[in-house]
Structure formats: structure tokens, C-alpha cells
Amino acid sequence: MSVSDCFIIDFPKITDKRGNLSFIENNCHIPFAIKRVYYLYDVPAFAERGGHAHKHLTQVLIALSGSFDVHLDDGQHKKIVTLNKPWQGLLISNNVWRELKGFSSGSTCLVLASEYYVENDYYRDYVEFLHSMSV
Ligand code: T46
């Protein structure tokens, strides 16, 4: 998997003068069954989240409010994606290092994950990650 396997997904958007509505249906709008949902909130502007890759997990990140930058790195190529639209998600495949930075005030990141939380699925050491990608 590489950064080119990471892409933006547009979710349905129902516009309404009362406010807009988007929805995501399991196995329909994203290419995996959702096993876990988590979210990042109250993130200070200077904070950085992520700083790891996953061996098997695929997930979709959504900026439900505010904005932040997602730095992607597969060991050979890098890409930065800014998320700031609640009707869009960024799919991040396994074996891609990700760092989340530049959180705006009040931003919220919703994450839809293909697997339950398993600490052993993480590469948390960048050198180990690079080594694993090169063998
Ligand atoms: C990712 C970015 C965007 C759990 O117990 N269950 C969970 O589902 C998660 C995600 C985390 N945790 C525990 C593990 C740590 O003790 O919560 C603590 C903080 O987790 P972490 O340092 O991994 O948080 P982030 O924001 O750096 O990374 C998370 C995800 O772990 C990661 O997959 O891509 O959000």
C-alpha cells in the first residue's frame, strides 16, 4: 500500500436551510465494514496526533468541524491532505505512516476503522516502519 492508495471520499450531502446533513452507511459509502468509531476533540492547536502506521487497519478520517492537516508517508512518497469539509473523508490504507497537525480551534476528527483496537497492529517507531516497508 502507498500514499496513492489514500484518497478522498465524498459522502452524500443533503443541503437544507435548517442546516446540512451527511450520512455514511456501512459497506456502502466506504470500502470496508466499520468495526470501530472514535473521535479526537479538544485538540490544542500545537498538538500532533498519529505518528504511526498500521499493519492491517484501514480507516477513514473526517473533519466533522474545523480543519487539520494529515501528513502521509509510505516510506517512498509523501503527501499532505488538508481536511476541512464534514462531507468528505480521507481513506488511509494500512502501511501508511500518518501524522495529524495544524488543528484549528474547536476541530473534531471522526474516525471510522476497519478493525477493533489492537496495539500490536501499530508501527509506532518510524525506523522500524521504514525497515518493514523495505523488506
Ligand atoms: C490514527 C489516529 C488518527 C484506545 O484504547 N482505543 C482506540 O480505539 C484508540 C484509537 C486509542 N486507544 C488508546 C491507545 C492510547 O493509550 O488511546 C490512547 C491514545 O491513542 P493514540 O496515541 O494512538 O492516539 P492518536 O490520536 O495518536 O492516534 C489515533 C489512532 O490510534 C490512529 O490509528 O490513525 O488517531
Residue 91 · residue 62 · CB < 8 Å:
no
For the entire predicted model, the pTM comes to: 0.96
Task: Compute the chain's Rg from CA coordinates.
Answer: 15
pLDDT of residue 134: 86
Domain housing 66: 3-134
| Model pLDDT for residues 85-111, shown as the tens digit of each residue | 999 999 999 999 999 999 999 999 999
Residue 50 CA: nearest ligand 1 atom is: 27
Residues with CB under 6 A from ligand 1: 36, 38, 40, 49-50, 61, 98, 100, 111, 117
Quote the ligand 1 centre to 119 CA distance (angstroms): 9
Task: Give, in order, the Cα–Cα distances in Å from 108 to each of 41, 45, 70, 115.
Answer: 5, 12, 13, 21
CATH number, position 65: 2.60.120.10
Quote the ligand 1 centre to 14 CA distance (angstroms): 31
| Model pLDDT for residues 14-69, shown as the tens digit of each residue | 999 999 999 999 889 999 999 999 999 999 989 999 999 999 999 999 999 999 99
pLDDT band of 135, cuts 50, 70, 90: confident
pLDDT of residue 88: 98
Domain count, the chain: 1
Catalytic residue among 29, 52, 54, 131: 52
Residue nearest to atom 3 of ligand 1 (CA): 50
